[in-house]
Amino acid sequence: MEDTLVKSEIIKPENRVYKKTDLMTEKVLSYCPGCGHGTAHRIIMEVIEEMGLTEDTIGIAPVGCSVLAYEFMNVDMQQAAHGRAPALATAVKRLMPHKTVFTYQGDGDLAAIGTAETIHAANRGERITIIFINNGIYGMTGGQMAPTTLPGMKSSTSPYGRDLDMMGHPLKITELVAQLPGTHYVTRQAVHTPSNVRKTKKAIRKAFELQHQNVGMTFIEIVSNCNSGWKMTPVQANKWMVDNMFPFYPLGDIKVDGKMVEG
């Protein structure tokens, strides 16, 4: 039976089990090959589509590689000044409380120039969702050292590796915001394997659901790669991320239902 099944009999609309969501525009992504941004964009849009929030979502694009997120996400978007996405999201959510509001920020945006906005929005318990892509480097501007760069990690401004005496320690901002009473759900995920993508998708869905229960800020960190900045192939970069990023930025829930996860 299966021997007679030819390609044309399988490829029919009724047999389709996966297709890129229509909430991603047809524009070709500006990201480097293998960059986690594309996967992260797509699963956010899939969650919005599955929850039927297409008309009621406002996203805030940051400054960084994902500055053009509004070109790729086919929902209402705004673009904030560098690091100020949580402030803009605060305004949007307070003016339109029935909307689902999320910011999409990288580590150079959220953990460096936008630290004040992030911490205070979290501390005020704004009913927004922050999606934080952490690749430990300033990807867009040429791979400079970011606050999240690992100890000893080479970047274009730390060519001999990050020296903790001179450059300070990496910032675990996700653990930091989890300490604040305003956050309700804080988690760290990744998008480099199918199982991690599914877990991240569940986390995003949970965060969007919690947003409408008026319980506080939801914060999702996605540990991602920057193969161009790390000077590796995408597959090597993912492996390097598992071997080096995950021990320092362990995956899993950090705060659930307003309580820190013991671990």
Partner 1 sequence: MAKVKGDIVVDIERCKGCEVCIDTCPTGTIAMVDAVNGKGYHYMQNVNDACTGCTNCAIVCPDGVIEVYRVKV
Q: What is the binding site for partner 1 (CB under 8 A)?
A: 1-2, 5, 7, 9-12, 15-21, 24, 28-29, 31-39, 42, 191-194, 197-198, 227, 233-235, 238
> In angstroms, rounded to a whole number, what is the distance separating the alpha carbons of residues 119 and 221?
14
Closest separation in Å from C-beta 233 to partner 1? 7
- Provide CB contacts within 8 A for 92, sequence distance 6+: 58, 60, 78, 99, 101
Closest distance of CB 223 from partner 1, Å = 15
The residue among 66 and 183 lying less far from partner 1, judged by its C-beta, is 66
Task: Specify the residue, 211 or 227, whose C-beta has the smaller distance to partner 1.
Answer: 227
Burial 69-101 (b: 16+ CB within 10 A, else e): bbebbbbebbbbeebbbbbbbbebbeeeeebbb
* Contact (Cβ atoms closer than 8 angstroms) between residue 57 and residue 102: yes
Minimum CB distance to partner 1, residue 47 (Å):
13
Rounded least distance, CB 18 to partner 1, Å: 4
Nearer to partner 1, 93 or 201 (CB): 201
Nearest to 76 by CA among 38, 28, 23, 118: 23
CB of 4 to partner 1, least distance (A): 9
Which structure tokens are listed for 151? Answer: 């100890």
Residue 124 or 202: the one with the smaller Cβ distance to partner 1 is 202
Answer yes or no: are the C-beta atoms of 48 and 75 closer than 8 Å.
Answer: yes
Between 141 and 233, name the residue whose CB sits nearer to partner 1.
233
